[in-house]
Chain A
């Protein structure tokens, strides 16, 4: 019998090898392979733009993932500019490294990939590396601060805060010159819980219609990346669940999974399955939150109560497991915190049936109502725009692009589990809403399949490089005592090198880039949070809407400000 799945896998491997051979011919000694999926290329500043154009046009790296700077003062060099691209056919990620300095400006990528705009602005904000045609404005840090905060030699000094000046749009070339003055600039503060976090929208309005708009971010900038460079790996763990409190285990999974892959630690099957259960519960929670916020914006408070009750029931079940609040340390290095408590599986199955019934009831009532359709069937984002901005996750799938990391580069048991990837057609708010509803049902089915076939065995690895020894062993075994001391003194130390790990979070691709020098502190941690890229496409979506729809647009994209600002 002919097996389609096997044939597809073979095709993928062939395609990957073909691409690798082509790249080797092109870049020869500049190319290194971390794994078959992660490629890194070093280019020189003189032909930086040419090489990236070549990668985009000839080698199919058409999806922009990330752009960041790494400080190399310890090596005696200045800065490294790093660009990460994705090939959506072979699912390979390439990191392009280019040495730059803060003295001369670097050619901008924002004409090739639009999503690079905020990244390049952030690079100036954090490191002082400027780019052509990118305004030198603080994007995350407070206005009036001196110094660049992510540099190694940065010393915080007290400063007087400048209120950010009123933003004015550059004249619109599409409009005749006489009509420029008829337009007003409106600023909308969203600090009272209309959206998930503090945001400010700035719009150019003519006759109550928004002509152009942009978001101002940085109101929740906490400097997580700076903190990560100054604490050891154990101390990083509790920070992860607080970046986006709606899906704490997603960040833990992306972080721990990456370190475990890098150190080559074996994880027991039971821990893998349990991690997937937590992740999918988080996905449901986040999507319910999105639906609840959209409902809240439209003023249908009875349905808001329903979604909050559902979220509450998920939190109750998670609390039973972790004995903590929502932001729990359930996933730890080397497995899961503890084994399943007694009676938890039954409770979780009850939760699934409750959620399935309730979500079906609620969405049946609102999905086809006229009010809902009228308000939501607008604000289109087509697939080309979405790919250009680097939008990923349900927002990308709502535009009709079939790309789900659980399908294309599956980790753990996503290969063996049956589920489907829901797709939208137009990329309107309504599509984004429907994709999320359907994903809730798919997640429910994934969890029930996992719980039915939950593997037996340990929930923690026996590998001593990441494991905290048990308390009894510490008192009796000298090796365990040494390990215990080492673990609590300096934490897990990573050997010198770099890695990137990403998973499919409820909002899109969530990734961690980590660079270690072999000491207990990391040299550079860069978060690839999906909201940072979905936030930029607000500019394209919002045209033609009215001012009161702004929170609706933001919630349909599910922008979580904790994620964007870091």
Chain B
């Protein structure tokens, strides 16, 4: 019974309108809120943690599509896990630029957040030097619970339509 009610509320929210444009907007937004389309770029140690997370039976409760390869043009969440070397940085920048306008970025692990223990010439000291980041996830490697929490944090930002890209634009008055 509860399911029926919740379904009907979603339908009423989406469909009860005469304006087709606002209908489409609402429809897009409900999809966006309910399902993220991630583009995972994963390497080194944190990727093995993510990989085992994928293998869990209820991983789809938290995030969908981790094992489907969407092209960057169709995805809205960039997940970067692992050390970012200088050689790797242009690739991540390119993927970010190819993604559509509304996009979010998640940095998994100490290396992606701040360079971690690798303070050398060949390592980029944090993902924020290349692209604006929404959620930083500390830990070397982060635990399972923290990964789940970070997805919740991203989802919260998506529902409120807050992204660090829009914030940087707002602060720069672009």
Contacts and interface: CB of A to CB of B under 8 A. Distances in A.
Greatest chain B CB density within 10 A among A156, A163, A218, A221 is at A221
B88 A198 contact: yes
Given A308-B55, A312-B52, A143 B117 contact: no
A462 to B, nearest CB: 31
Nearest to A301: B67
A400 interface: no
B126 to A, nearest CB: 14
A220 B85 contact: yes
Nearest to B94: A163
Contacts of A304: 55
Most buried by A among B45, B67, B88: B45
Nearest to B81: A193
Contacts of B86: 142, 145, 161
Interface string B34-48: 000001111111011
Contact of A191 (B43, B45, B50, B118): B43
Interface in B101-118: 117-118
Nearest to B95: A191
Contact of A238 (B117, B122, B141): B117
A226 interface: yes
B51 interface: yes
A164 interface: yes
Contacts of B55: 304-305, 307-309, 311-312
Contacts of B91: 189, 191
Contacts of A156: 120-121
Interface stretch (A70-78, A113-121, A239-247, A535-543): A239-247
Contact of A245 (B48, B54, B120): B48
Interface string B20-62: 0000000000000000000111111101111110111100000
B122 A143 contact: no
Contacts of A307: 55
Q: How large is the interface on B (under 10, 10 to 19, 20 to 34, 35 or more residues)?
A: 35 or more
A326 interface: yes
Contact of A222 (B41, B50, B85): B85
B114 to A, nearest CB: 14
Contact of B43 (A141, A220, A238, A325): A220
B90 interface: yes
B69 A192 contact: yes
Instruction: Tell me which of B69, B87, B89 has the highest count of chain A C-beta atoms within 10 A of its own C-beta.
Output: B87
A164 to B, nearest CB: 7
Contacts of A222: 83, 85, 118, 120, 122-123
Contacts of B141: 245, 325-327
B166 interface: no
Contacts of B117: 227, 238-239, 242
B143 interface: yes
B122 A142 contact: yes
Contacts of B88: 191, 198, 219-220
Contacts of B40: 192-193
A193 B85 contact: no
A197 interface: yes
B87 A192 contact: no
A182 to B, nearest CB: 29
A359 interface: no
- Give the bracket for the number of chain A residues in contact with chain B: 35 or more
A562 interface: yes
Interface centre among B67, B89, B120 (most CB of A within 10 A): B120
Contacts of A227: 117-120
A214 to B, nearest CB: 16
Interface in A181-203: 189, 191-193, 196-198
A135 interface: no
Contacts of A410: none
B140 interface: yes
A223 interface: yes
A342 B36 CA distance: 43
A192 B42 contact: yes
Interface in A260-304: 289, 301, 304
A222 B83 CA distance: 8
A161 B44 contact: no
Contacts of A398: none
A326 B46 CA distance: 11
A223 B45 contact: no
A149 B121 contact: yes
Q: Could you say which of B48, B51, B69, B143 has the most chain A C-beta atoms within 10 Å of its C-beta?
A: B48
Nearest to B118: A222
Contacts of B143: 325
Nearest to B50: A193
A161 B87 CA distance: 8
A160 to B, nearest CB: 11
Contacts of B82: 220
B44 A193 contact: no
Given A161-B86, A161-B89, A223 B120 contact: yes
A301 B87 CA distance: 32
B87 A142 contact: yes
Given A197-B43, A223-B120, A308-B51, 5 more contacts: A149-B121, A218-B85, A220-B88, A308-B56, A326-B141
Interface of B: 39-45, 47-52, 54-57, 67, 69, 82-83, 85-91, 117-123, 140-141, 143
22 contacts: A141-B121, A145-B121, A191-B88, A192-B39, A193-B40, A193-B42, A193-B51, A197-B44, A220-B85, A222-B123, A223-B118, A223-B122, A223-B123, A239-B117, A242-B44, A242-B117, A245-B45, A301-B67, A308-B55, A325-B141, A326-B48, A327-B140
Interface of A: 140-143, 145, 149, 156, 161, 163-164, 189, 191-193, 196-198, 218-224, 226-227, 238-239, 242, 245-246, 289, 301, 304-305, 307-309, 311-312, 315, 325-327, 561-562, 565
